[in-house]
Amino acid sequence: MHNSPDNLTANSPGRSDTLQSAIFVLVYLTAAIAIMLEWGNELFQSYYIDGVVLVSAVYFVLLLLLSSHSLRLFYLLTPVVVISVPNAINDLLPAYAMAPLSDLGAAHFAFFTHIDLYLLFGIIFHGARSGSERPGAINPIWMLVVLAAYLGGYLYAMWSDQRSLGGFAVWAFQYRYILLAMAFVSLPSLQGQRVWLMLWGLYLATLLNIVESILFTEFRLGGLSEHRLTSGNLGHNAFGNYLAAVAMVSYAHYSSARRMESPNQWVLAIFFLVFTSAAFLTDTRMSALALLASLILFHLAFYRIVRLSALVPVVVAMFVLMSPLGISNLQNVGEYVGEVLPKVVDEAQRASVNDAPVTTETATTQTRMILWRGAWQMIQENPLYGVGAGEWNFVKSRYAIHWDTMLDSHNDYLHYLACSGLIVGCVFILFLYATPWITALKLAYQDRMLMFRYCPFLVFSITLSMCSLSNSNSHKHQIFTMLALFAMMALRYRAENVAEDPGWRYCAGIGEGNVSDE
């Protein structure tokens, strides 16, 4: 790979590794200091143990041991650890409340998580094994920029009377995971193989999560006949949006495999149907809309490679799947947009949207209008620094959001701007959601066929960027992790580098390559 600023690569891996180590020591040292300072606070929780926590811990340790066997397994298992390991494992670690304890659903979040442990272990273990074979670390300037933003927020939260150090420290996972993603793409190359192994790991993790959600819905909520498909890890809205994104990944992957006449095409086609069906069972309208929009954009972008007429049976299959599953989704979108939404918007224009009459049809949209208006007021009153990471639920009542329930803005874009301010919030948005779009456009300009091979890797973030208009999906730290990893990989693998990489060309089926494991 070229050591150029365009792919964020440093010229001196050894020196960069030393600085990278110092950055991680400082980040986790400040987390430890926050734990000590908040110890004894009523919002602080030292640990919690039950059967689910212990089983989760055993499952995590087994995956961690497997990942140490080879670099390929580490890449393959990364999505499995991130998505499928129950979040209950983090109850073993010191945590801080994400909302007032009096709020319904108030929960604690750990100062550092199993994702930190897994990625740190892999970066240290496999980085040490690779030695001089590493392709070069990320330019330390970018890591220092992230570190500066983190330390600025940390110090402000420590000295400000209006901020909570514990709240900022637990929500600092956003900074930590970006730093870990930077270190992740500095591991031994396998550029093309890394992408495809992570995609197969994503499918495996999603299948495991679907099984978990079925069990959770059946035995904890009373069954699918009465409740939406809900994951204990990701809830239902974020879970439905995540499933739509993975379904789109599998479809783009299927289209590539079909063109190459790969036997994997049938497996990928089945994955698409399974993930789409599960997304419909969550009864999340936005997931269906985003999936349909992504399919249309995909076929329009590659109309010379994939026939546009091929979209027709796919859309028909989606409607056929909805009917027996008893899902409304796209079937009532026309009625919803034409009749219900205008009524809600009209009510939202009144002096007090909270006083607008709520019906079964308008409740979900009207709730969002209230949350969006409150988030917008937060941005207007706190444009530079925001209300503070981890503070949203503690200050929401000041902005006419009077529900005593743990909530979020139900819009990722508003949430980042409201919590982190216009500067840092825009950086988060650009990094997580704009990067894949920019990379896709650049690839399309340089080599449309290469973009077609590369597309499965990008559509996860692109689909979620649409879903996040009505949900704070990256509010779930598991989804944030996958977005951060994919965004950093998109920044690292520019078109000119991908085209020259034999590992990518071999895995994509457009050339020969000979890539070793380590």
pLDDT tens per residue, range 489-515: 877 765 445 545 444 444 444 333 333
Please name the residues in contact with 194: beta carbons below 8 A apart, sequence gap of 6 or more.
75, 489
pLDDT-derived band at 220 (thresholds 50, 70, 90) equals confident
Low-confidence winner among 36-40, 69-73, 278-282, 306-310 (lowest mean pLDDT): 306-310
- pLDDT of 351 higher than 50: no
**How crowded is the C-beta side of 208, counted as CA atoms within 13 Å?**
17
**What's the per-residue H, E or C state across 95-148?**
EEECCCCCCECCCEEECCCHHHHHHHHHHHHHHHHHHHHCCCCECHHHHHHHHH
For residue 331, being part of any structural domain is answered with no
Residue 27 in domain: yes
Q: How does pLDDT run across 82-96, given as a tens digit for each residue?
A: 999 999 999 999 999
Residue 394 belongs to a domain: no
In a domain, 113, yes or no: yes
Instruction: Kindly state whether residue 489 falls inside one of the protein's structural domains.
Output: no
Residue 293, domain member (yes or no): no
How many angstroms separate the CA atoms of 51 and 336, rounded? 43
Whether the CB-CB separation of 473 and 286 falls below 8 Å is answered with no
Query: Cβ neighbours of residue 338 under 8 Å, at least 6 residues apart?
Result: none
Q: Judge whether 313 lies within some domain.
A: no
3: its two tokens:
């050591």
Residue 231 lies in a domain: no
Using DSSP's 3-state secondary structure scheme, residue 44 falls into: strand
- Is residue 261 predicted with pLDDT exceeding 90? no
Res 304: pLDDT: 63
For residue 127, pLDDT over 90 is answered with no
What is residue 361's predicted lDDT score, i.e. its pLDDT?
44
Domain count, the chain: 1
Distance CA 442, CA 424 (A): 25
pLDDT, greater one: 409 or 138: 409
Looking at residue 234, what DSSP letter applies?
T
Strands laid side by side in the 108-110 sheet? 44-45, 95-97, 108-110
Helix 264-281 with 191-220: angle, nearest 10 deg: 40
Nearest to 85 by CA among 238, 236, 205, 211: 205
**Domain range for residue 95?**
15-128+135-187
* Residue 47, pLDDT score: 87
Max CA separation in the chain (angstroms) = 66
In whole angstroms, what is the distance from residue 7 CA to residue 517 CA?
23
Residue 514: the pLDDT is 39
Give the pLDDT of residue 209.
95
CA atoms of 217 and 428, how far apart (whole Å): 33
| Per-residue confidence band for 357, with pLDDT thresholds at 50, 70 and 90 | very low
> Which comes out higher in pLDDT, residue 373 or 438?
373
Return phi, psi of residue 104, to 5°.
Answer: -65, 130
Quick: pLDDT tens for 222-243.
Answer: 877 678 899 988 988 999 999 9
pLDDT at 390 over 50: yes
pLDDT of residue 325: 53
